[in-house]
Amino acid sequence: MNIALEDRREWGRSRRADVPRSALAEVVSSDTRFDPVSLLESQARSRIPELVAIRYGRMLASPFAFFRGAALIMAADLAGEMNTGLTA
């Protein structure tokens, strides 16, 4: 199915009524949020042990490096939130 670009844009705009962009800026309540350290530790169990320390060291380099290396934390935060139905 080939939907015209403008039709897709309009559909995306219409989704803002259900999930406004400002709603995505809200902080997840700490009592319902997964512990970020536990998430990283659980992920580390499936990795080569000798490389985990290197990964963490690279994540310490900057906030950008941390968030790039900690995509699991972001995914866990977003999994329970509102969903627009848009597929990237």
Number of H helices, E strands in the chain: 5, 0
The pair of three-digit structure tokens given for residue 9, joined into one six-digit string: 């844009």
Mean pLDDT, 10 residues at a time, the chain of 88 residues: 80 84 74 88 95 96 93 85 75
Domain extent listing, the chain: 5-79
> Rg for the chain (alpha carbons), in Å?
18
Residues 53 and 20: their CA atoms lie apart, in Å, by 39
Residues 62 and 60: their CA atoms lie apart, in Å, by 6
pLDDT at 65: 95
Q: What is the pTM of this model?
A: 0.65
